[in-house]
Amino acid sequence: MTVSAKMPTRLHHTAYVSKDLEATRKFYEEVIGLPLVATWCEQEELFGEVRTYAHCFFELADGSALAFFQFVEPKDQDLFGPELAESPFIHVALNVDAETQGGIIERIEEAGIREPETYILDHGYCKSVYVKDPNRMLLEFTVDAPEAAALNKAQRTKAHAELKRWLAGDHTPNNNIR
């Protein structure tokens, strides 16, 4: 099946709720290296009540951002988050080069962040460092394998067939590059 509609050009931002915007700022700016580029202080009627909050944006190289809200009222904070599921399968994965990943690993170590809050996995098609932010959100910083373009091309040609096979009950692994 081919989709003929024009695709989005990039991620604009992804948003989460923070318990502590200053701890969040320190982590994203000082440990990860993402600059704080906007703080919108807002008050508006949302979902039947007037809500007062700050909304901070930390920029990625392509202009997209990770964004975080913090509410003034504890009842709003409790209603909207930031409790995140403690699952390693719920995370934000960001593409980086090896030098950037190395710098992030160094700053994680300098900040005293240790396992189980951080770990490294080699998936074969990419190598990733995982770290939890002050809100317990899991971030993945991924360096693609040198042959990623060829691997991605091969996967694209069989993605639907592999999904159909898996959904039909054949759960044989197909990642033989680890």
Q: How far is CA 127 from the centre of its chain?
A: 15
Q: Which of 135, 140, 138 is nearest to 123 (CA)?
A: 140
pLDDT tens for the chain, residues 1 to 178: 555 677 678 888 999 999 899 999 999 999 999 999 999 999 999 889 999 999 999 999 999 999 999 999 999 988 888 676 677 777 899 999 999 999 999 999 999 999 888 999 998 889 999 999 998 889 999 999 999 889 889 898 988 899 899 889 988 888 888 7
pTM: 0.82
Q: What is the pLDDT of residue 4?
A: 63
Q: How far is CA 6 from the centre of its chain?
A: 24
In the chain, the domains with their CATH numbers are: 11-83 (3.10.180.10)
**Total H helices, total E strands in the chain:** 4, 8
